[in-house]
Amino acid sequence: MSDKWRSGLKIAAQLLMCVVFVGLSVWGQRSTSWSRFGVECVGLVGVVFMLWLYNNTHR
């Protein structure tokens, strides 16, 4: 597999992960319950992880 395809797949995977994590945060915010709060926290941790990953690769 060429480097161009590999970098394209990596960008697509990161974009998909970002959409999923933001979606979890938004979906968890819609109602007030402990389970939805947990889903929201998972989404927020995922977004923070994505930011940390980005900052480590672009120093």
Amino acid, res. 16: L
Question: Is residue 39 helix, strand or coil?
Answer: helix
Residue showing tokens 């977004």:
47
* Structure confidence at residue 6 as a pLDDT band (50, 70, 90): very high
- Residue range 20-57, pLDDT digits in tens: 999 999 999 888 889 999 999 999 999 999 999 999 98
Quick one: angle between helices 34-57 and 3-29, nearest 10?
Answer: 150
pLDDT score of 31: 82
| Average pLDDT, rounded, for the chain | 92
Please count the other Cβ atoms lying within 10 Å of the Cβ belonging to residue 17: 15
pTM: 0.82
> Considering its fold, how many domains does the chain have in total?
1
pLDDT score of 46: 96
The whole domain housing 48 covers 3-57
Helices and strands, counts by H and E, the chain: 2, 0
